[in-house]
Each structure stands twice: as structure tokens, then as C-alpha cells.
Amino acid sequence: MGLTAAVAALSLAATLAGCGGVGDSGDVTLKLVAADYGNNDSNTSQKYWDDLARSFEKSHPGITIDVDVMSWKDVDREVAEMVKNGQAPDLAQIGAYADYAAEDRLYKADDLLSIRTQANFLPLLSRAGEVDRVQYGMPFAASTRLLFYNKDLFAKAGATPPKDWKGIREAAEKLKAQGVTYPFALPLGSEESQAETMMWFLSGGGGYRDTADISYEINSTANVSTFKWLKSELVDPGLTGPGTPGELDRQEAFDAFARGDVGMLNGHPTLMETAEKAGVDVGKIPLPGTDGEARATMGVADWMMAFKQNGHREEIGTFLDYVYEDKNVLAFSDKYDILPVTVTAGTAMQGDPKHKDLWPFLAELPTSELYPVGQTSWAKVSESIKKNIGKAVEPGGDPEAVLAGIAQDAKDAEAAE
């Protein structure tokens, strides 16, 4: 039976078995710390959460929601500091949960959500929220990646959208001949190079973990071959633009694409909207692989988690069931061009023409691969990638040696788990 049918079949059971009722402890205030998906005061996520909280409170007297929205630059660090000081919030909507789960600080999703709500998460995202096969991280927002290209620059260069790596090289050569600043923008700087690296690993048939998800496989044959190709076929011939990829951050590359200075890059839904508003005619295709479409694209999820420190399990569950109602999931997706994390909201988006621009990203989500966020070692591995991966393609760089160094860091981090 498909998940959508299972969700419907479990609706009655959810009413009977869900942990949505409020306890007898009197009025409760739940503290929620959340990340800001907006880029200015006019579209801050604080407004979304304030509106949702006031709506919830009207229908759930006795529960007050106190929301503090922080920038992505600060929110993970601030929550970690709160936890360290014994002042954990009831809920946090941030980037990672595994460390807190490993320290037994979080409620299990089973202990919070109604059956209907928990069953409605996309299976891929539910699994990514698990530590030792128990779900602690509840997906809140998701996105996938596609290859973006500037249709006008491609037309002027006589280039065709690439279907494989050979096509990427050929298109980049034509774009360079037309004077395009960045034929293929390759941001391997410290900002988010773990994402760019993962996309290329996947397109080359590799990935961060082995197929059984037992251990890291950073310097696999496939991954080494991928970065050797990048260096010899794109970077060394000057097809990735001025400077070296290790000095190019993601936001710089995205800004350049919105200015019309980039022929191709790997992008996400927010860039699509920004570039189109700037007048760029954006083409979007699945990531090309060595001999055709990549076996998978990269998926990204941000997480909701509930801390046990203050109790309030039933009230937290009641609020989260409300948070994950379709109307609220879709309202957030609408506001920030983010993919919904539930089956029913995703189905609604697929059936609504106003979301047509997001359909290609949504189609990639069920088969995408996510960071190994359930591993407490991932934070250290990610930092090593950010610090070192750009060296693999710099002049005189040795991709095999650089990936071996990162692999050793991963092995050390895993041993410390």
C-alpha cells in the first residue's frame, strides 16, 4: 500500500492513539527557536511563526508559543549554547539534531506526533531523521539541486544543455569562447563546498558513504575519478572562471549567475527566483552524470527537534501536529520556495500550477540523497571538506591525496563517535 493510502487509513487510528491532548498541568509556554529563511526584515520567518503561533493559540487555549527567530549564521551556535547552559528550548528548528539525540536530550518522534503526522513525512526524510533506527529529527524544510543554465548565454554561444560530463565540457568551451566570465561556476570555497562536493560525487557514481551506509567512503575510486576529471577537464582549461574554485563561495557564484555572468552552475529553488527577478532566463535540468543523468541529486533537509529538559511532551506534540498540517506546510513553502516535507502537501503542490517552477525540484526529492546527518561525526567531516576540498583542483593539486586526507579525518571522527 502506498504511503498516501497508508496515511488515509491511519487517520482514524491517529485520532484515537495520537499524543495530541494537553495535559492537566495548567497553562504552558513553549519556547521555539527557529532559523530565518528570509533575507530582509520584510520577509523574515518571524512573521510566519508569529502568525502560526497566534492561530494555534486561538484553538488551543492553555498553550502559548514563544518564538525566537535567528539568522542561519547564529541559530545553531545559539541553541548549542542554550543547551550547554541548561536552558534548552522546548523546540528548535535548526540544521542538525544528531549530537543532541546521541546525548539523550531529545524526545523521540514516536513520543510526540500523532500516527497520521509521522506517517505523512516523506520516507526518505524520516529515515534521514533517525539515529540507530529511531527518529529524533523531524524534517521541516527540504530542497534539491538541479543544473541551472543561462538560456540567453547558451543561445549566443550555440551551446546545448548538457546531458553528460562531455556535454558540460563542450558547452563550457563554447561559453568561454563567447567571453562568458564563468562558463561553469564551481564554488568549492569554505561557505558550502560540502554541498558542491556531494553533487559531483553523486554525478560520478559515488557519494559520502558506502552503499550499505556503514562507513564513509570519501576517497573511493569513483570520487577520486570525479575530482580528477573536474581538475583536468574544467578547472585546468580555465572553464570555471577567474581565480580558483577553492576561493569561490556559493553566494558569490549565485550572485554572479543573477548578474548574467555564469553559463552553468548547480542551483536550488531560491536561486531560481532571485535570478528570474533579475531578468535571467533560467534553464533547469537534472544533474548530468558521466554517461547520462546522474543516478541521484543531492537533497537537503532542515530539522525540527524537541528537547526533553522542560517536559511538556503532550503540549509539544499538539503544537507539532498543527505545524505539519498541509495549510501550514504549504504556506511556508510558498513564502520561501522550499519543498514540502510531507506526502500530502507535496501532492497538493504537484497539482497546483502556481508551483510549476518547483515541480522539477519536487520530482527529484524522493530519490535524492541527503547528507549523513544521522552521524554525529558528520559535523567534523563537513568541516574537513570545507577546509580542504578546494585544494584538490588548484594548480599542482592532487585530488587523490586531498581526498585521502579528508577520508582520514572522517575515519578519526567516526572512531570518536
186 and 281 both lie in a single domain: yes
Share of the chain above pLDDT 70, in %: 94
Distance (Å, whole) CA 348 – CA 351: 5
Please, which pLDDT band fits residue 26 given cuts at 50, 70 and 90? low
What 3-state class would DSSP assign to 67? strand
Distance (Å, whole) CA 186 – CA 263: 11
- The answer to whether the predicted template modeling score (pTM) of the entire model surpasses 0.85 is no
Inter-CA distances, 356 with 282, 286, 348, 361, Å = 14, 16, 12, 10
Examine the pLDDT at 154 and tell me if it is beyond 50. Answer: yes
Task: Look up the domain containing 186 and give its range.
Answer: 144-298+373-415
Give me the pLDDT at residue 417, please: 74
The structural domain count of the chain equals: 2
Please check whether residues 168 and 20 belong to one and the same domain: no
152 and 131 in a single domain? The answer is no
Q: Residue 24's pLDDT is what?
A: 43
Q: What is the CATH number of the domain that holds 350?
A: 3.40.190.10
Q: Rounded CA gap, 83 and 92, in Å?
A: 11
Amino acid at 371: Y
pLDDT classification of 12: cutoffs 50, 70, 90: very low
**Is the Cβ–Cβ distance between 234 and 186 less than 8 Å?**
yes
Q: Are residues 278 and 305 in the same domain?
A: no
Backbone angles phi, psi at 109, to 5 degrees: -60, -35
Residues 283 and 174 in one domain: yes
What do you get for the CA distance between the two ends of the chain, in Å?
Answer: 37
What does the pLDDT look like over 327-353, one tens digit per residue? Answer: 999 999 999 989 999 999 999 999 999
CB 113 within 8 A of CB 317: yes
146 φ/ψ angles, rounded to the nearest 5 degrees: -130, 165
Local confidence band at 43 (pLDDT 50, 70, 90 cut-offs): confident
Q: Is residue 309 domain-shared with residue 285, that is, in the same domain? A: no
Give helix 45-59 / helix 326-336 axis angle, nearest 10°: 170
Alpha helices by DSSP H, listed for 85-189, are 98-102, 115-119, 123-128, 151-157, 165-177
In this structure, the answer to whether residues 361 and 383 fall within a common structural domain is: no
Least confident range of 207-221, 273-287, 398-412: 207-221
Using the structure block, give the residue that is written with the C-alpha cell 580542504.
388
